[in-house]
Amino acid sequence: MNGRSKTQDSVGFTLIELLVVLAILAITLALAVPRLTSFLEGDPNKAAQDILARAVLRARERAAFTQDAWEVHLDLTARRVWLAPQEPQEGKTVAFDWTLPEEVVIQSITLAGGTTTSGQVALRMLPTGLTEPCRITLVNTGGRTRHLVLEAVSGRLVEDSKPRETTDTQLAGSALPRDPVWEHLP
């Protein structure tokens, strides 16, 4: 009618073009789905780190507000975290109580006095804002490990991307970041 053949008027994609697009989508999904599922499920180690950071922040706030030292207590066996004044006084009791996710255990806590792998540990927060420095190792049921460092002056709980192995001779505190301000306090 107008001099064009039927194939020239056809619009759309060829079978080969559709197969190439489907192959690209399949490869993209194969790479993205494992990351997406771990994102949707959440990282239990990150959740535990958030709980610990919140506990440290609350204890530092309480210490500054009350002008008394407060402690973050960690029960490595029960996976519990709670706050209490260093010297219990009338009207000041245990404050805030968290439980770490079931998938996470605190493998160890290294303080200046050594490493603890079971029982309870208390981290001091002074009214001046100083925090007892330590290294905390979290492990989840999937075997993923997260090493955290509690900084003495800033009170920040940060992930240690390059954890150091601690030997018996280092347990006196040299495995932790050196903080001369903290070492001279009572």
User: Tell me, what's the pLDDT at 1?
Assistant: 52
Structure confidence at residue 4 (pLDDT) = 55
Domain ranges in the chain are 48-183
Cβ contact 47:60 at 8 Å: no
Instruction: For residue 109, give the nearest of 121, 100, 97 by alpha carbon.
Output: 121
pLDDT in tens, 79-119: 899 998 888 766 656 677 888 888 889 999 999 888 989 99
Give domain 48-183's CATH number out of 3.40.50.970, 3.55.40.10, 1.20.1260.10, 3.20.20.20: 3.55.40.10
Tokens representing residue 149 in the block: 């460092």
* Contact residues for 93 (Cβ-Cβ < 8 A; gap 6+): 84
Output the pLDDT for position 155.
85
Q: For the chain (length 186 residues), average pLDDT per consecutive 10? A: 58 89 87 63 81 90 90 91 82 75 90 89 91 90 88 87 52 41 44
Structure pTM? 0.65
Query: What's the half-sphere exposure (Cβ side, CA atoms, 13 Å) at 96?
Result: 22
